[in-house]
Amino acid sequence: MPELPEVETVRRGLVPAMEGAQIVAAEARRPDLRFPLPVRFADRLAGQTVVGLGRRAKYLTADLSSGEVLVMHLGMSGSFRVEDGTLGTFHHPRGKAAAHDHVVLQMSSGKTVTFNDPRRFGFMLLVPRAEFDDHPFLRGLGPEPLGNSFDAPALALACRGRKTSIKAALLDQRIVAGLGNIYVCEALHRVGLSPKRPAGVLAGRDGRPTERTVQLVDAIKAVLQEAIAAGGSSLRDHRQTDGALGYFQHTFRVYDREGEACSRAGCGGTIRRIIQGGRSTFYCPRCQR
DNA sequence: AACACCCCCTGTCGGC
DNA sequence: TGCCGACAGGGGGTGT
């Protein structure tokens, strides 16, 4: 579900409710998500102050006054919502959606923060701050795509000699961390690159970036920034924390547009869907070469 | 090291 | 209306 823009949208929505506030009460309504929740999970959260809310790739991080970091991943269907009220009052779960409310945090800000995840591909970890960068799930992550260290030379170097497809390479979080299926498809269309080309073409014989690699990096940054500004993309599950829909999906040029005419001026191609690595790729075979 | 699969889980949608 | 298969924004783990 959520790629970098959606996770960043969620982070920004949680800041007013959580940053600088204390977790007055915490409740885990089941023992596990994708993985078992940390031992004594609720006890280790209750009473802590959230010193800062961050994001690394598609992970949300809450720095706690205890020195631990609450690491949260939304998986495919995870979402947070922020509501007024407390655990003991009107917030008792009811209705179909509430059946998947797995973690509830009552904050000293007066807000209740609820994590909902029907598919339970999401997970939460508690990691000592000093061990964050070495955690097995986090240490292999590549550069942030919106950071200064993600540039054309870095991408070319990471892809040099690789025979896997460009699509698979850009989805590989070790190469660049935060892209998912939507934004890879969109960025490749913007620069007219076929998702089927081997990733190695992003580097010239000397290992330096080609002109198209420079364009690709620019397109990745642009599409992510535009999507963040739009509050992310709402296909099925994604909501901002106040329940509002993101609206970047209206701007998709290829994703979920199989059979439609290519929007590139003068192209005249038709968007196709193919399967790469078991996942759908949308692209225009006419203008993406 | 690099790569190709498999799987986790629930909900929705289209076809019959 | 019901049933059934395909598919969904991710990524850890395993096997070659």
Same domain membership, residue A194 and residue A84: no
Query: Nearest nucleotide to A96 by CA–C1' distance?
Result: B11
| A46 and A98 share one domain | yes
Q: Model confidence over A170-181: pLDDT tens digits?
A: 999 999 999 999
Together in a domain, A173 and A129: no
Whether A112 is in a domain gets the answer yes
- Whether A142 is covered by a domain: the verdict is no
Residue A234 forms part of a structural domain: yes
Strand B-proximal residues of A, range 11-70, CB below 7 A, are: 34
Residue–nucleotide distance: A123 CA to C3 C1' (Å): 33
Q: Is the CB of A92 under 7 A from strand B?
A: no
State the greatest distance between any 2 C-alpha atoms of chain A, in Å, as a whole number: 65
- Nucleotides on strand B with an atom closer than 7 A to protein CB? 2-12
User: Separation of CA A122 and C1' B9 in angstroms?
Assistant: 10
What's the CATH number where A91 sits?
A: 3.20.190.10
CA atom of A122 to C1′ atom of B1, Å: 28
CATH of the domain at A250: 1.10.8.50
Residue type at A244? A
Domain, as residue range, for A42 = 4-134
Total tally of structural domains belonging to chain A: 2
Active site residue A136: no
Instruction: Please indicate, yes or no, if residue A141 is contained in any of the structural domains.
Output: no
Picking from A189, A208, A232, the residue whose alpha carbon sits closest to that of residue A58 is A232
> What are the tens digits of pLDDT across the range A107-156?
999 999 999 999 999 999 999 999 999 999 999 999 999 999 999 999 99
| pTM of structure | 0.95
Closest CA to A155 of A121, A104, A204, A109: A204
